């Protein structure tokens, strides 16, 4: 409970798909670049984002709001088609290609940026135990913590988000 | 960083399905009616909610908690059925019908209310570029901004939500 | 608007699947144990979490980031398989089994803990009406409220989360 000088932000990161990995990393790296103290707490499906080797994908299934630009139009993908084998790989490749063309950094790059900017990365101990992850699978420079660690931190922050 | 007089709220709006469009607009219009300064930042799948012409739908797929009232009972829809052609259209029609009967305003009506109440609507520039939306497709009276715009604003707000 | 002595937290609970029911209850019971004043506002698909009889399930559909530990590896389930009849029941049973083995409390137990710890549980009146739930279906000790109830409360809280 030190005296606060800089503004601060905490993010609970609970989703680990290719698309939902972006908001927490874009917000945290931008905030850190603006001088905020940033904490990211990785839990549930967001925990694998701390793995050394990322294998992210995305599906349009269950997301009727996803509109992919295609030949100057915006296309939505029917659920039945999205459920077919290969559709997840196809949508993932399409999104990665689209991001590369537009010069959007990869999640790996944003994660490196976050580490360089001293963003505090905390892995949820309970999720580690529940889903049987080993610390050796995770990148270096992170710490382990629980809900209490997060709450203690969040009471000190100006912005708290659950993503 | 002007001196604050009113309480304030910011909402990051990331989902654009018929059901998930409601929480941000209900919260923002209610808060504005209570005198709060409200900012909505539309990004990712939430950005299309700023389009002139809305075409919202919903699916029960991937949401095992959705219980539709039917003949005095609550029914859940099996995933396999929800994946069939027409199921999204059917669930959308059912929800719209249910809302109309109960007198719930449409998203278009709530959006108009938000604009009348001076809610600040910001479209995410990066999402505009990534998904190739044109400003001409969007309603008037909005502004463009990025993550930094949002963070600057959120550090001043009493309530910050990521929806 | 009484003078604040303790720190405080509000959570909007919008999801009611077996997996997404955990974050709000773990955070609220932990925060309450740390002495925070906690309010949970149950709305949309999160409202059924206040029912006397819980019937929670989960699906891997639409969540390409879910990795279940299995024989020392982490397995993702293809969408097509996840859409088949029985897959939701299977994934639910697997998750419940995994949680039991690891000593994770059930949602019913965490909810009891929250009530014992004086967490303020508010059911969204609009959702009650829209989805035709009766107060008699809900557990005792809760109150009814609307978006204005939530916003009034949240402006006083140190941490506000939308889950």
Interface test with A, best of B1, B147, B149, B152 (most A CBs within 10 A): B147
CATH code for the part of the protein at C8-55+106-162: 3.40.1260.10
Average pLDDT of A51-78? Answer: 79
Interface confidence, given as ipTM, is 0.90
CA-CA distance, C100 to C159, in Å (whole number)? Answer: 30
Q: What is the pLDDT of residue A126?
A: 93
Strand order in the sheet with C159-162: C143-145, C120-124, C37-42, C8-13, C159-162
Using CA of residue A106, residue A107, residue A112, residue A114, what is the dihedral sign?
positive
pLDDT at A6 over 70: yes
Domain assignments of chain C as residue spans, ordered by start: 8-55+106-162
pLDDT tens profile A75-86: 777 776 677 777
Interface test with B, best of A79, A96, A156 (most B CBs within 10 A): A79
CA-CA distance, C117 to B93, in Å (whole number)? Answer: 42
Of A78-82, A143-147, B60-64, C8-12, which gets the smallest average pLDDT?
A78-82
Identify the three-state secondary structure at position B14: coil
Residues of B in Cβ contact (< 8 Å) with C160:
159-161
Average pLDDT of C22-37? Answer: 98
Residues of A in Cβ contact (< 8 Å) with C23:
12, 14, 43-44, 162
Using CA of residue A13, residue C152, residue C158, residue C18, what is the dihedral sign?
negative
CA-CA distance, B139 to B127, in Å (whole number)? Answer: 16
pLDDT at B51 over 90: yes
Phi-psi region of A117 (alpha: psi -120 to 50; beta: other; left: phi over 0): alpha
Average pLDDT of A58-79? Answer: 74
Better-predicted residue by pLDDT, B85 or A138: A138
Q: What is the pLDDT of residue C98?
A: 84
CATH topology of domain B8-54+107-162: Hypothetical Protein Ychn; Chain: A, (3.40.1260)
* Average of per-residue pLDDT values in chain C: 90
Residues C127-132: contacts with CB under 8 Å, at least 24 apart: C127/C42, C127/C43, C127/C44, C127/C47, C128/C47, C129/B102, C130/B98, C130/B99, C130/B102, C130/B104, C131/B67, C131/B68, C131/B69, C131/B74, C131/C47, C132/B69, C132/B72, C132/B74
Cβ atoms C47, C30 nearer than 8 A: no
Question: Which value, to the nearest 10 degrees, does the dihedral of the CA atoms of residues A115, B150, B58, B19 take?
Answer: 120
Q: What is the pLDDT of residue B1?
A: 43
Identify the three-state secondary structure at position A136: helix
Q: What is the pLDDT of residue A3?
A: 54
CA-CA distance, B99 to C124, in Å (whole number)? Answer: 15
Q: What is the pLDDT of residue C3?
A: 54
CA-CA distance, B118 to B129, in Å (whole number)? Answer: 26
Say yes or no for a CB contact (<8 Å) between B83 and C82: no
How many Cβ pairs closer than 8 A exist between chain A and B?
A: 94
* Token code pair at residue C149: 């109830």
Q: Predicted confidence band at C4 (pLDDT cuts at 50, 70, 90)?
A: low
Cβ atoms C88, A116 nearer than 8 A: no
CATH topology of domain A8-52+106-162: Hypothetical Protein Ychn; Chain: A, (3.40.1260)
Cβ atoms B25, B42 nearer than 8 A: no
The CB-side HSE value for B144 (13 A sphere, CA atoms) comes to 10
Average pLDDT of A109-118? Answer: 97
């Amino acid at each position: 409970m030190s005296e606060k000088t800089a503004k601060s932000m905490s993010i609970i990161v609970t989703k680990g798909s290719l698309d939902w990995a972006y908001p927490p990393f874009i917000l945290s790296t931008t905030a850190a670049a603006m001088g905020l103290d940033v904490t990211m707490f990785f839990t549930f499906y967001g925990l694998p984002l701390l793995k050394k080797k990322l294998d992210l994908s995305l599906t349009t299934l269950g997301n009727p709001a996803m509109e992919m630009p295609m030949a100057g139009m915006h296309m939505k993908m029917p659920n039945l088609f999205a459920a077919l084998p290969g559709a997840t790989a196809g949508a993932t490749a399409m999104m990665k290609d689209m991001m590369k063309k537009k010069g959007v950094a990869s999640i790996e790059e944003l994660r490196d940026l976050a580490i360089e900017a001293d963003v505090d990365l905390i892995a949820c101990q309970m999720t580690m135990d529940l889903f049987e992850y080993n610390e050796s699978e995770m990148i270096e420079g992170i710490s382990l913590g629980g809900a209490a660690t997060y709450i203690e931190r969040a009471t000190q922050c100006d912005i708290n988000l659950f993503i």
